[in-house]
Amino acid sequence: MQVRLALLADYANVTTEGKLNILGIFDRIAVTQLPAVHPQMQFILRLEAHPAERDRAHSVEIRLHDPDGQSVFELKGELTPRGGDPGEPIATNQIVTINNLTLGKTGGYTFVVFVDNDLKSEIPLSVDYARTAPSAPDPTSGS
């Protein structure tokens, strides 16, 4: 089983026809203070199984590591590819909603995806302090 797409977005869904819709793809979060809580994001994962993997269970694990390599959270599950045309790869879209993610440090975070204990993908997420724009001159000050 291979990871064909892995990213972070503000929102995603899958239509009844199987179309994957993604809105607001990002890889950077700006914070004003630490710790910061990001209210909601969605981790989108498109997996593709070889026809020989049909009806075989696969373990899937998603972890988030902070800039120091410490685990922030992990999610484990199992996926069994089903359906599709004989001899054709079997694709599946997974959308994981992450609510109220606490970010304790600035720097480079990494989402890692394992399938059957094999590292398949790494998705970076940069957390930095928000830059403040210089304030505009006051037109009433006369300067």
Domain holding 99, by residue range, is 2-129
Determine how β-strand 90-103 pairs with β-strand 2-14. Answer: unpaired
Domain count of the chain?
A: 1
Residue at 140 is within a domain: no
Is 60 exceeded by the pLDDT of residue 59?
yes
Q: What pLDDT score does 86 carry?
A: 84
Residue at 136 is within a domain: no
Angstrom distance (rounded) from CA 95 to CA 23: 12
Angstrom distance (rounded) from CA 45 to CA 77: 13
Tokens representing 75 are 């999610």
Angstrom distance (rounded) from CA 130 to CA 25: 18
Q: How far is CA 124 from CA 8, 30, 103, 121, in A?
A: 9, 14, 14, 10
Average confidence score pLDDT of the chain: 93
Angstrom distance (rounded) from CA 32 to CA 133: 13
pLDDT digits (tens, 9 = 90+) for 86-143: 889 999 999 999 999 999 999 999 999 999 999 999 999 999 999 876 666 666 655 5
Residue at 107 is within a domain: yes
CB burial readout 84-103, b (16+ within 10 A) else e:
eeeeebbbbbbbeebeebeb
| CATH code, domain with 114 | 2.60.40.2550
Residue at 142 is within a domain: no
> What is the distance between the terminal CA atoms of the chain, rounded to a whole angstrom?
65
